[in-house]
Amino acid sequence: MSATLTPACRPADYRSAVKPIWCPGCGDYHVLMAFTRAFAELGVRPEQVAVVSGIGCSSRIPAYMNCYGFHGVHGRSLAVAAGLKIVRPDLMVVVASGDGDGYSIGGNHFLHACRRNVDLTYVVMDNHIYGMTKGQPSPTTEPDFDTALVPGGTGMRPFHPLVIALASGANFVARAFSGNPAETAAIIAEAVRHPGFSFVEVLSPCVTYRPDQRAWKDRVHRAPVDATDDAARAARRVMTDDGFNLGVLYRGNRPPYAPPIGKAVTDLSELEREFEI
Amino acid sequence: MSADAPRASSLVDLYAIAYQIEADAVERYAMLADQMEMHNNPALVDVFRGLARAEGIHRDEICRMAGDFDIVAHARKVARWQLGESPESADLGAAHYLMTPHDALQMALAAEQAALEFFRELLAGTQDPEVRRFAAELVEEEAGHVALCHRLLERHLPPAGGGPAGDPDPSVSQA
């Protein structure tokens, strides 16, 4: 980490020297830009931030950032992040995931992270496909998405992450589009400022396996109504919208889960004694 | 000018807006150059690095003109587009690993034309003589960039074969 940063960090100060290997045209480049802009907007220094991820294209983000990072186990980023935030409440913890990592392999952790309401920000880059493993359908893939890998489509109803998040107790729910990095950065910054578990779904096109998603930039639009603090109302809205409403959709007021931290163990033999038979 | 575009009510506002436009352009061209480097398209690396370098010279020139004034901090306050990106931002979503110098120059042309249009509208919408003078300089500069892109495009014609349209390795799921 750089030791020569100016007091007010610029977005570039949060970028590492590692060059992304995403496909040119991938929406995740924009999300990376949005992360760095949001962090600069929040005025946090790199050593005050931890970005935790699982596995997948989107989960490569920690490598491209100049802050603490943890590229963890598939679907388990929220468990790692919750533990980190509980023992290091001074850190700003942001979790990066994708629709496969977050809603399938990590689906159970998603439910309980919403319910637990630890003060985290969860950003899921949703492209409705497993891009890293070459285009298998994910939980948010449309049932009639017909490809050589899934002839005729899956026929299965897609998972609705925003409704699940609201039903499970997330304290802040928003949808953004990667092609609008300025707006996405503003939403991420607000999500971080909002106490408790904040969930931001970012529609992030996979131009390689879903070239049709290049058209998303013409389909997205601002949500026609302001955010509500009524989870049931927010859920009804997102269940009946077209999937392209952008903005903050729900701001809750549940207090975050923040258990008291016990005394830190400095002597390993203390821990060993607990396991003695 | 779009409703979400920032307004320049003073010369330092315009410095900040112009700085942000150039800084965003540098960021995007540098990202595109990195992408092409990672995807082994060396001709495009040179094109995008050159574009980033050129925009960086303009950005640094604006900083120099602003003198001791903290143009970066001021840009954070006044140079914000609420609904979209600053006008000279290249469309990262249009990138392709097989794009050609022609494609890159078309991308740059679109960005330069958007910047030219922005400064023209800003010039037309302000009465402040200092702002008008500098906005006119920026219009002239961007018009020069548009003309340069057109000249370069004459030298870099669309490829007869290859490029994104001739991708020999299309994605499996689209086959």
Quick one: three-class SS letters along chain B? Answer: CCCCCCCCCCHHHHHHHHHHHHHHHHHHHHHHHHHHHHCCCHHHHHHHHHHHHHHHHHHHHHHHHHCCCCHHHHHHHHCCCCCCCCCCCCCHHHCCCCCCHHHHHHHHHHHHHHHHHHHHHHHHCCCCHHHHHHHHHHHHHHHHHHHHHHHHHHHCCCCCCCCHHHCCCCCHHHC
Q: What is the pLDDT of residue A17?
A: 95
Strand A68-71 and strand A121-126: the pairing is unpaired
- CB atoms under 10 Å from CB of B156, counted, come to 16
What the block records as the tokens of A88 is 């290091």
Per DSSP, A103 falls in state I
Give residue-wise pLDDT tens across range A101-158: 999 999 999 999 999 999 999 999 999 999 999 899 999 999 999 988 899 999 999 9
Mean pLDDT of B18-23: 94
Whether B92 sits inside 8 A of A29 (CB atoms) is: yes
Q: Give yes or no for a contact between B86 and B20, defined as CB atoms under 8 angstroms apart.
A: yes
Backbone φ and ψ of A23, nearest 5°: -65, 140
| b (16+ CB within 10 A) / e for B28-43 | bbbbbbbbbebbebee
* Alpha carbon of B129: minimum distance to chain A alpha carbons (Å): 31
Whether A135 sits inside 8 A of B31 (CB atoms) is: no
Mean pLDDT score across all residues of chain B:
89
Percentage with pLDDT > 90 across chain B: 67
What the block records as the tokens of B104 is 């890159």
Q: What is the pTM of this model?
A: 0.91
Strand order in the sheet with A221-222: A68-71, A49-53, A92-98, A121-126, A198-203, A172-177, A245-251, A221-222
Q: Of A242, A136, A258, which Cα lies nearest the Cα of A196?
A: A258
Give residue-wise pLDDT tens across range B47-96: 999 999 999 999 999 999 999 888 988 998 888 876 678 888 888 988 99
CA distances from A1 to A4, A47, A84, B168 (A): 9, 8, 19, 41
Establish if A228 belongs to a structural domain: yes
Whether B81 sits inside 8 A of A12 (CB atoms) is: no
Give residue-wise pLDDT tens across range B133-154: 999 999 999 999 999 999 999 9
Percentage with pLDDT > 70 across chain B: 94
Range of the domain at A115: 19-274
| Cα-based angle B105, B106, B107 (whole degrees, multiple of 5) | 85
How many DSSP H helices and E strands does chain A contain? 9, 8
Mean pLDDT of B105-114: 95
Q: Give yes or no for a contact between A57 and A98, defined as CB atoms under 8 angstroms apart.
A: yes
Mean pLDDT of B117-143: 94
In this predicted structure, the answer to whether residue B1 has a pLDDT above a threshold of 90 is no
In this predicted structure, the answer to whether residue A5 has a pLDDT above a threshold of 50 is no
Whether B171 sits inside 8 A of A149 (CB atoms) is: no
Mean pLDDT score across all residues of chain A:
94
Residue pointed to by tokens 């609420």 = B82
Per DSSP, A74 falls in state T
Give residue-wise pLDDT tens across range A55-96: 999 999 999 999 999 999 999 999 999 999 999 999 999 999
Strand A172-177 and strand A92-98: the pairing is unpaired
In this predicted structure, the answer to whether residue A18 has a pLDDT above a threshold of 70 is yes
Sequence ranges of the domains in chain B: 11-87+96-159
Smallest Cβ distance to A30: which of B35, B92, B172? B92
Q: What is the pLDDT of residue B3?
A: 65
What the block records as the tokens of A99 is 């629709």
Smallest Cβ distance to B39: which of A12, A24, A209? A24
Q: What is the pLDDT of residue A109?
A: 98
Establish if A14 belongs to a structural domain: no
Q: What is the pLDDT of residue B122?
A: 93
Cα separation, B158 vs B123, whole angstroms: 35
- Higher confidence at residue B164 or residue B22? B22
Cα separation, B29 vs B45, whole angstroms: 9
Q: What is the pLDDT of residue B84?
A: 77
Q: Which residues of A touch B96 (CB under 8 A)?
A: 24-25, 207
Establish if A6 belongs to a structural domain: no
| Cα-based angle A164, A169, A170 (whole degrees, multiple of 5) | 80
Instruction: Report chain B residues touching chain A, CB-CB < 8 A.
Output: 27, 31-32, 34-39, 72-73, 76, 80-85, 92-97, 99, 171-175
Per DSSP, A243 falls in state S
CB burial of residue A47 (10 Å; 0-12, 13-18, 19+): middle
Per DSSP, A94 falls in state E
Whether A29 sits inside 8 A of B173 (CB atoms) is: no
In this predicted structure, the answer to whether residue B23 has a pLDDT above a threshold of 70 is yes
The count of residues in chain B is 175
**Statement: B11-87+96-159 belongs to CATH 2.60.40.10:** no
Establish if A2 belongs to a structural domain: no
In this predicted structure, the answer to whether residue B169 has a pLDDT above a threshold of 90 is no
Residue A65 half-sphere exposure toward CB, CA atoms < 13 A: 34
pLDDT band for A16, please (50, 70, 90 cuts): very high
- Higher confidence at residue B74 or residue A174? A174
Q: Give yes or no for a contact between A153 and A145, defined as CB atoms under 8 angstroms apart.
A: yes
pLDDT band for A3, please (50, 70, 90 cuts): very low
In this predicted structure, the answer to whether residue A1 has a pLDDT above a threshold of 50 is no
Give residue-wise pLDDT tens across range A30-64: 999 999 999 999 999 999 999 999 999 999 999 99
CB burial of residue A3 (10 Å; 0-12, 13-18, 19+): exposed
Cα separation, B34 vs B98, whole angstroms: 14
Establish if A12 belongs to a structural domain: no
In this predicted structure, the answer to whether residue B29 has a pLDDT above a threshold of 50 is yes
Q: Which residues of A touch B32 (CB under 8 A)?
A: 24
Cα separation, A134 vs A59, whole angstroms: 16
In this predicted structure, the answer to whether residue B171 has a pLDDT above a threshold of 80 is no
Whether B173 sits inside 8 A of A134 (CB atoms) is: yes
How many domains, in total, are found in chain A? 1
Give residue-wise pLDDT tens across range A219-243: 999 999 999 999 999 999 999 999 9
ipTM of the complex: 0.87
pLDDT band for A7, please (50, 70, 90 cuts): low
CATH of the domain at A42: 3.40.50.970
In this predicted structure, the answer to whether residue B173 has a pLDDT above a threshold of 60 is no
In this predicted structure, the answer to whether residue B161 has a pLDDT above a threshold of 80 is no
Q: Give yes or no for a contact between A238 and A245, defined as CB atoms under 8 angstroms apart.
A: yes
Q: Which ranges in chain A belong to alpha helices (H)?
A: 28-42, 77-87, 99-100, 107-116, 161-168, 181-193, 216-219, 231-240, 268-274
In this predicted structure, the answer to whether residue A2 has a pLDDT above a threshold of 70 is no
Q: Which residues of B touch A38 (CB under 8 A)?
A: none
pLDDT band for B167, please (50, 70, 90 cuts): confident
Q: With both helix axes pointing from N to C terminus, report the angle between A107-116 and A161-168 in degrees, rounded to the nearest 10.
A: 40
